[in-house]
Amino acid sequence: MRYDWMDGYLLGKKSVTKDIQPDWNWIRYHVGGKMFAAVCLDDADKPYYITLKLEPLEGEFWRGQYEDVIPGYYMNKVHWNSVKPDGAVPDDILRDMLDKSYDLVLRGLSKKKQREILGME
């Protein structure tokens, strides 16, 4: 995977947790108990997709820009998008997409939970 910075970057965000979903062989990243990104692994534990959540129009935009961005693998195809881990999406664009996914999921949490996560309580 060419995005070797991704794990440290995501774990550096406030209140992010990481686990593995063994039935799917996915490494999942959560904020407030809700998944915002995942690395899908094949049978040899090699990444084959990075899955993240975006606003529908933004996801559609990036799918039109890069053939390495597709509708979410095994996810809702409107809100989730998958990026090939060895593809042509530049690091700064993937970083921005991951930031937006984190923010989108964080904003979907209750106001109380958001304040807890952001250290405002």
Cβ pair 73, 39 in contact under 8 A: no
Q: Is the pLDDT of residue 112 over 90?
A: yes
Q: What is the residue extent of each domain of the chain?
A: 6-117
List the strands of the sheet with 34-41, edge to edge: 16-21, 26-31, 34-41, 47-53, 80-83, 69-71
Q: What is the pLDDT of residues 15-68, one digit of tens each?
A: 999 999 999 999 999 999 999 999 999 999 999 999 999 999 999 999 999 999
Contacts of range 32-36, beta carbons closer than 8 Å, 24 or more positions apart:
32/105, 32/106, 32/109, 32/113, 32/114, 32/117, 34/105, 34/108, 34/109, 35/105, 36/101, 36/102, 36/104, 36/105, 36/106
Q: Does the structure show a pLDDT above 70 at 111?
A: yes
Residue 2, pLDDT > 90, answer no
CATH code for residues 6-117? 3.90.1150.30
pTM tops 0.85, yes or no: yes
What mean pLDDT value characterizes the chain? 94
pLDDT in the model for residue 99: 98
